[in-house]
Structure 1
Amino acid sequence: MRLPAVLAGVLIAACAAQARAEPVRILVAVGHSEGRGDERPLKHTRDDAARVRDVLRSRGGVAAEAAIVLANPTAADLTAALARADTMARTHRPDEVTLFFYFSGHGDGRAMHFGRETVPFTDLAAQLGKIPARLRVVITDACRSSDAVREKGGVLEPAFVVNVDEMRSASGAVWIHASSDGEAAQESDALGGAVFTHYWATGLNGAADANGDGRVTLSESFAFAYDQTVFRTANSSRIPQRPSLALDLRESAPLVLTRTSATNARLVLPREGNVSYVVYAVGSRTVLSEAWGQDDRAISLALPAGRYIVHRRASGRAGAAELLLAAGETRDLRDPDFRPFTEESLAAKGGTLRFHAHEVGVGYGVAVGHLAPFGHGPIVQYAYRGDEWTWSAHVGLVFSSRDAERATETSRRWEAGVALEREWRTGSASFRLGGGPVVSYYDRTLQRPDADLLARGGYSAEISQQTVAPGVELHAFTRWSLGTRLWCGLRIQGTANVATLDGTRQILLHGAASPMLGADF
């Protein structure tokens, strides 16, 4: 009986050793919007930390349980997070551990600013140095700008530059800084985050893959982020921001940060130099990714599955393409995919660019009202959609039937109306609220149940009434995109008509809800 137990123990130990032999990547990402009293709050630090987490989780080999993200932490919170990272690291041998640390927030040449607290870089380096890891990659992003420069802190001292000499104790370390000595880093509302972080993450998503091998190395990611950050800040704010890199690194092979070949979807840009491509999620004005085309190779961007709008900006050939990427799909963009747009509309509208202004939809719904306690019927709707306002027209028909005390009542109501609607969009969904004049035609029939008996006696067993009734209607309409042109929606409306029935003028109220399917063209 002992032998099976011994064999089981050996097997468990072997499996545990194999599990421990697997390399692990650990991330601590910090975003802090608050600084000292003279520093303005920042807008995008949480998004920056989340962006870095997402790219390293999806393409950089960081498991979900190994990604620690802190939003506006205290110094004690940071210490606790690093202790968690230390605990995870100690379940592996040091040569199996890679540690990433990212910070977005206020700072100066000596410390990070956590509101009124400061965390000296020497303390940070000491805490990171205690975590057993083969390699430590530290990324610090400082003061940023909107397209009118907004700096992190706005003070006249060096903006978040690290003294490299003080970091030499961190063996096997890489320190990437968003700016050089004496410079402020910048954030951009158009990019939705820190300029350097945006381009570094974009590079890790595939734009920095200079040799097209499906892997982004440390040197490739930094070179791409450096060039794009300098270019963007020099043109938007006239104050160039130059990232810097400090290495205490021993490499036997290029350090691969991400692999783009195993991502959800890939977008391959045309082989053409001096052309800028900017990617937006549909309905968003925030840049998701961007890259410059190359003559000698095709640039590949890794993206999650979804709907995107790609701007192309080239001399005399500005345009945009709308596309739907499925999970695992590789999509090659071609020149015919792009429709011409002016540079002004591209710059102003981003991912809210309208490709198809016309919309048609059909539906079948239910209705309640004075003449029809319960009815049902079809509806057809056409709309011309502008940037914020939409003109729409609809026609519909409602059938209803009910048994009254002495007769069966059947009615049909034809309706036609036009409306002006205000539209709000978010991603692949939109919501419209509007109203306008409507005209209804009522055809009402009352039939006695003893119709045959009455007919033998020469009496009419059926009474019909028809009337035209003008009125107004208010409606709410929500639609969700099913692709680049197809959509589904829900239309809810209320109608008030003035009608003459039985010799008296009446106000008839109706309500209806209609699920719809449609297409844009």
Structure 2
Amino acid sequence: MKSLWIFGVFLATFLSTTFAWARIERFAVIIGNNAGAPGDVELRYAESDATRVHDVLKDLGGFPPANMVLLRGEGADTVRATLIAMNDRIRQAAAPDVQVIAVVYYSGHADATALHLGRTTLDLPQLEQLVRGSAASFRVLVLDACRSGALTRVKGGSPAAPVDIRIDGRLAGEGVVFLTASSANEDAQESDALKGSFFTHYFVSGLMGAADDNGDGLVELEEAYDHAYDNTLRASSRTLAGTQHPTFRYELRGQGKVLLTSLPAGASGRATLELPAGRSYLLFGGSSAGPVVAEVSARDVGRKISVKPGTYFVRGRDKDYLLEGSITLSAGQAAVLRDDTLTQVAYARLVRKGQARAGAVHGPQAGYRLRTSFWKGASPCHGFFAGYAIETEHLSVTPRLGACRGGFANDVLSADTDELDLSVRLAHAWDFPVVSLDLGISAGAAILNESFVTRGVAPARTSFAGHVGAGLDATVDLPAGFYLLGEVAAETYFFRQQDAAHPRESDIAAAFAMRLLGGAGKRF
């Protein structure tokens, strides 16, 4: 998985040795490229991940913008020239009383010999030489390049030997650093839902405050690593590419806790948002279609997130529903989000929008049904129904079992008419602020039994019928996944009917009826 932990390593190292230096200079070259060599699958988020790393270093790591270069979609010549120019600047900044930290980060395609920067390549030995040859006190190379996958995209190109880049020498006597992208034979994964890699998402969320378990406003290395490890393990365990185990190993001088970030509560250029406990929250930039900025899971103790001023879309996830809404934060503001300021959204609506983790919701429904009579003079057929609805993004399927009783009476005889039927309904829904409407078609089979109350006139008769129909359904969502439903449909029944003139013969007859339903259901 992504080795952004190295940022914790170098930040921890310079924080633990700051007393020995009069000044610290920080430099970074951040590289992202979605394109690779011919045959490489186009990545979606390598360049945006590089941007997130750049912003974390600038906003929370204290890297001056003048000392940072962000390269997106650039070729090997530009990358090489940028690294050489950065090394020249570092040599000019180096002095006995100055500690210089240099970070080179790459996200994109690679194989065992070179980075794939679009149609160009940069040999790994040359890249390593440029990093090792820097005059910086601390030199850090983060290489995020693995293989490509299917549903959850895995970074890289065609199957090849794992990339082997390690900085394992002593860095100015300050420590030994080992980098691994993940555990052996594992891949770094991208997520369409997060619009980035799992590890970067959870690591950055942790640095923004989700990993601050003790609430002291400081995120330590152990806190950040535990946060990213646990959440990456949980999220990647649901993917086809397999579980991801982030790893890192380092040796540093000194003892005690290692500080990664200090959350700037009340700082003029930041805002703090405290999220309620008990459920998971996603924070999107701008609107629900914006990038995922941070996430706080239901199990996280740290609930305060440090963000830039602006408007954010918040989505809270409960067992049976979502909470959604927007909040605008100003510079220096410390806000506390309240659930009653958010709108409750049933999971079925999220499924129909294609925004739910699960591809469907399902559950039972039951209630009262009424069918109008087939013939003049007969009474409507009153009864009940029970069904089980399965709702997906574009279509719902609902098998139902129903029963009802009607009858008729005249001067000569009276009878009861019972119906037992099984049907399947297919429908497509549209969601409105209060109600959801769906238009559907149905087909089924029924057993019709006619028993005469007037004895001795005629024997009971049982017949079979098929029916098709179309109708409109309305549902209103209730708390805890429950909902009310109402439906009106027009149906045509087809059954055999005796010819009055020739009792031994029968014809296929059709009868039209209206069907009304009212009931309730529960979605899981």
TM-score using structure 1 length: 0.56
| CA drift at 1:198 | 2.3
Q: Distance in 2 between matches of 1:66 and 1:141?
A: 22
Is 1:192–1:287's contact at 8 Å kept on the other side of the alignment?
yes
1:222 aligned partner: 225
Are 1:334 and 2:338 counterparts? yes
Q: Map of 1:402-421 to 2, 5 A cutoff? A: none
Per the TM alignment, residue 174 of structure 1 is displaced from its structure 2 partner at its CA by 4.1
2:276 equivalent in structure 1: 270
CA distance in 1, matches of 2:245, 2:113: 19
Counterpart for residue 211 of structure 1:
214
1:304 maps to 2:304: no
Report what 2:500 is aligned to. Answer: none
Evaluate the alpha carbon distance shift between residue 173 and residue 328 of structure 1 in structure 2; reply closer, same or farther with a 3 A threshold: farther
Partner of 1:63: 64
- Map of 1:93 onto structure 2: 95
Q: CA 1:345 to 1:66, structure 2 compared with 1: closer, same or farther past 3 Å?
A: farther
Residue of structure 2 equivalent to 1:202: 205
Query: Which range is displaced more, 298-307 or 170-179?
Result: 170-179
For the Cα contact (< 8 Å) 2:143–2:165, is it kept in 1? no
Deviations 1:323-356, CA, capped at 9 Å, x for gaps:
11111111112332333212344574769xxxxx
Q: Which residue does 2:80 correspond to in 1?
A: 79
Tell me the distance in 2 between the aligned counterparts of 1:23 and 1:184: 35
Code of the aligned partner of 2:106: F
State yes or no: 1:151 paired with 2:157: no
Secondary structure of residue in 2 paired with 1:197: helix
Paired residue secondary structure (2:312): strand
Deviation at 1:32, TM superposition (A): 1.5
Match for 1:47: what amino acid?
A: S
**Structure 1 segments unaligned to the other structure (5+ residues):** 1-19, 352-521
What is the aligned partner in structure 2 of residue 376 from structure 1? none
The whole-number CA distance in structure 1 between the counterparts of 2:208 and 2:347 is 26
Please give the secondary structure, in 2, of the residue aligned with 1:244: coil
Among 90, 101, 106, the residue aligned to 1:103: 106
1:439-478 superposed matches below 5 A: none
CA 1:158/1:187 → structure 2, altered by over 3 Å: closer, same or farther?
farther
Aligned-partner Cα distance in 1 for 2:109–2:47: 13
Relative distance call for 1:287 and 1:175 in structure 2 (3 A) is farther
In 2, Cα distance between equivalents of 1:346 and 1:329: 31
Q: Deviations over 1:358-408 (max 9, x none)?
A: xxxxxxxxxxxxxxxxxxxxxxxxxxxxxxxxxxxxxxxxxxxxxxxxxxx
TM-superposed CA distance for 1:158, in Å, is 4.4
Residue 321 (structure 1) aligns with: 325
Q: CA 1:55/1:139 → structure 2, altered by over 3 Å: closer, same or farther?
A: same
Q: How does 1:489-504 map to 2 (within 5 A)?
A: none
Change over 3 Å in CA distance of 1:193–1:137 after alignment to 2: same
Match of 2:22 in 1: 21
Give the superposition deviation at 1:167. Answer: 3.6
Structure 1 counterpart of 2:34: 33
Aligned residue in 2 for 1:127: 130
Asked if the contact 2:30/2:71 (under 8 Å) is kept, the reply is yes
**Structure 1 residue 181 and structure 2 residue 184: aligned?**
yes
* 1:292 partnered with 2:293: no
When residues 92 and 170 of structure 1 are mapped into structure 2, their CA distance, relative to the original with a 3 A threshold, is closer
* Worse-matched range after superposition: 186-195 or 306-315: 186-195
Structure 2 distance, partners of 1:117, 1:181, is: 28
Q: 1:334 to 1:233 in 2, by over 3 A?
A: same
Q: Kindly tell me: are residues 136 and 256 of structure 1, through their superposed partners in 2, closer, same or farther at Cα, counting changes over 3 Å?
A: farther
> Separation in 2 of the partners of 1:146 and 1:345?
29
Indicate conservation of the 8 Å contact 1:73/1:114, yes or no.
yes
Alignment size in residue pairs: 327
Find the residue that maps to 2:78 and give its secondary structure: helix
Once the 2 structures are TM-superposed, how far is the Cα of residue 56 of structure 1 from its aligned partner? 1.3
How far apart are residue 238 of structure 1 and its match?
5.2
Equivalent residue of 1:153, what SS? coil
* Paired residues of 1:28 and 1:82 also in contact (CA < 8 A): yes
Q: d(CA) in 1 for partners of 2:354 and 2:262?
A: 32
Counterpart-to-counterpart distance in 1, 2:168 and 2:114: 13
| Residue 243 (structure 1) aligned with residue 246 (structure 2) | yes
Are the aligned partners of 1:293 and 1:299 in contact in 2 as well (CA < 8 Å)?
A: no
Q: Deviations over 1:225-256 (max 9, x none)?
A: 22222222222435222222142543455443
What is the CA RMSD across the aligned residues, in angstroms? 3.0
Secondary structure of the equivalent of 2:136? coil
Tell me the equivalent position of 1:47.
48
**Structure 1 Cα separation of the partners of residues 260 and 85 of structure 2:** 22
CA 1:39–1:267: 2 relative to 1, 3 Å: same
Asked if structure 1 preserves the Cα contact closer than 8 Å seen for 2:148 and 2:158, the reply is no
TM-score, normalised by the number of residues in structure 2: 0.56
User: How far apart, in 2, do the equivalents of 1:238 and 1:44 lie?
Assistant: 17
SS of alignment partner, residue 341 of structure 1: strand
Note if contact 2:236-2:244 (Cα within 8 Å) is conserved in structure 1: yes
Alignment partners' CA distance in 1, 2:272 and 2:154: 34
Counterpart contact for 2:324–2:342, Cα < 8 Å: yes
Deviation at 1:85, TM superposition (A): 2.5
Alpha carbons of 1:153 and 1:147: their partners in 2 closer, same or farther (altered >3 Å)?
A: closer
Give the AA of the match of 2:187: A
User: What's the secondary structure of 2:141's corresponding residue?
Assistant: strand
CA shift at 1:271, angstroms?
3.2
Question: Which residue identity lines up with residue 77 of structure 2 in the other structure?
Answer: A
- Taking the aligned partners of 2:282 and 2:147, their CA distance within structure 1 comes to 20
More displaced 10-residue stretch of structure 1: 244-253 or 185-194: 244-253
